[in-house]
C-alpha cells in the first residue's frame, strides 16, 4: 500500500514546474509499478497550452477552475469546469485555455517516468527507466 501526500512532494523531483507556466505534482510514476501515472496539474489563469500526447492516453478530471478545451483537428471547443472529465482516447491534438486557475487530476498510460518534457509537438516522448 502506498500513502502519498502532495505536501511531501513539493520541492522534490516529483513537482515539475514547466517553462510553459503549469505545475504538475506526480503522485504515481512508472517506477511505482501501477501501470499508469497519476498527477495533479495546476494551470494559472490565462494560460493557453498546446498538447498532443501521440505516445500516451490521458484522462483528466477538473475539480477547480474554468477553462476551454479545443480539439485542434476539428475546432470543437468544450467548456471545462469542476466535475468535468475529458479523455484523450484518440491521441487528440488539443489546447487547454485556463480562464481561472485550474486544478486537474490526470492519469497517463503508458505511465510517465517523471523526466518527460513536452517536445515541439506538445507531446511526451516515451522515456525508458
Q: Where along the chain do its domains lie?
A: 14-109
Residues 9-20: what's their mean pLDDT?
A: 91
pLDDT at 1 over 60: yes
* Average confidence score pLDDT of the chain: 91
- 120 φ/ψ angles, rounded to the nearest 5 degrees: -65, -20
**Cβ(101)–Cβ(22) under 8 Å?**
no
Q: Does domain 14-109 fall into CATH 2.60.120.10?
A: yes
pLDDT at 125: 62
pLDDT at 2 over 70: yes
What confidence tier does 114 reach under pLDDT thresholds 50, 70, 90? Answer: confident
Residue with cell 494560460: 47
Amino acid at each position: 500500500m502506498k500513502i502519498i501526500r502532495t505536501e511531501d512532494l513539493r520541492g522534490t523531483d516529483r513537482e515539475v514546474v514547466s517553462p510553459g507556466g503549469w505545475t504538475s505534482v506526480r503522485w504515481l510514476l512508472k517506477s511505482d509499478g501501477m501501470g499508469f501515472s497519476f498527477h495533479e496539474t495546476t494551470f494559472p489563469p490565462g494560460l493557453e497550452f498546446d498538447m498532443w500526447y501521440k505516445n500516451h492516453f490521458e484522462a483528466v478530471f477538473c475539480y477547480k477552475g474554468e477553462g476551454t478545451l479545443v480539439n485542434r483537428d476539428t475546432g470543437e471547443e468544450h467548456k471545462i469546469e469542476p466535475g468535468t472529465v475529458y479523455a484523450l482516447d484518440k491521441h487528440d491534438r488539443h489546447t487547454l485555455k485556463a480562464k481561472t486557475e485550474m486544478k486537474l487530476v490526470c492519469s497517463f498510460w503508458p505511465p510517465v517516468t517523471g523526466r518527460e518534457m513536452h517536445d515541439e509537438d506538445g507531446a511526451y516522448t516515451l522515456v525508458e527507466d
